[in-house]
Amino acid sequence: MTGELSPIDKAKFVAAKRACDYVEDGMRVGLGTGSTAAWMVRCLGELVRDDGLNIVGVPTSSRTADLARQVGINVTSLDEARWLDVTIDGADEYDGNLNLIKGGGGALLQEKIVATASDQMVVIADISKKVETLGAFPLPIEIIPFGWQTTKALVEETLIGLDVLGRTTTLRMNGDAAFVTDEGNYILDLHLHRIANPRQMSLVINQIPGVVENGLFIDICDAVVIGYGSGKVEVHDINAGTVEEDKIDFVESANLFSDL
């Protein structure tokens, strides 16, 4: 990346930088996956290098682990850390109850385990991720490769009984081959358009043999930090309520990252 950052990258950057306020010295921090989460990892790396912030990071994918190491964050496994203070991650969609769809980057399984093992989950996003009702973004589900076509058929049959607008399912591809997750599994994307009852959907989908986990995060997220290219930040925190802040200085410092 060279030159001035695009407005969307600035929006992701300001959200990521503001979310770093949730991180304190000595914390064990879950590190999300995706382009927005990558900004947060870079920002935390800067705090580690320049301000001596002492944290341990638990990455949610091999991609994030590589980036975290590159920027100087101490990385460990969830088994080593056991319980985390905070996880910061991106999302594909969030609704007014701070329920989420995640897994656009294929890391939903580790992301859900890590977020659930954290005292707080903070989501960082730009405003395009906000929806009235979840489901416009295809819902990813992680499935075992063994018998995947049977699992796909079972999922499609199950969708008939659920209140959704669309029922197409597609196997996520990586070129000509199936996309394979860090856990060695496949991803099915469910094109549902509108999920009337995400809690029910999550429970029912996870009952199907062959399904490992789905990308609905229900009652897991505690705060969403929305960034705008202008430097405005909105923080929707379940405990502290909603605040708007002007972080124009963040936008200026974003350009320090433009050569990444």
Q: Which of 4, 80, 93, 111 is catalytic?
A: 111
On whether the CB atoms of residues 222 and 120 are closer than 8 A, the answer is yes
Rg (CA), the chain: 18
Instruction: State yes or no: is 93 an active-site residue.
Output: no
185 binds ligand 5RP (CB under 6 A): no
Write the DSSP symbol of residue 181: -
DSSP string, 64-120: HHHHHHHTT-EE--HHHH-SEEEEEE--SEE-TT--EE--TTS-HHHHHHHHHTEEE
Q: How far is the CB of 33 from ligand 5RP (least distance, A)?
A: 4
14, 33, 229, 254: which one binds ligand 5RP (CB under 6 A): 33
Q: How far is the CB of 3 from ligand 5RP (least distance, A)?
A: 20
23, 29, 32, 47: which one binds ligand 5RP (CB under 6 A): 32
90 binds ligand 5RP (CB under 6 A): yes
Q: How many CA atoms lie within 13 A of 159 on its CB side?
A: 20
Binding mask 119-158 toward ligand 5RP (x if CB under 6 A, else -) reads: ----------------------------------------
Confirm whether residue 9 is marked as ligand binding: no
Confirm whether residue 104 is marked as ligand binding: yes
Q: How far is the CB of 108 from ligand 5RP (least distance, A)?
A: 5
Residue with tokens 């990071």: 57
On whether the CB atoms of residues 28 and 84 are closer than 8 A, the answer is yes
Catalytic amino acids?
Answer: 111
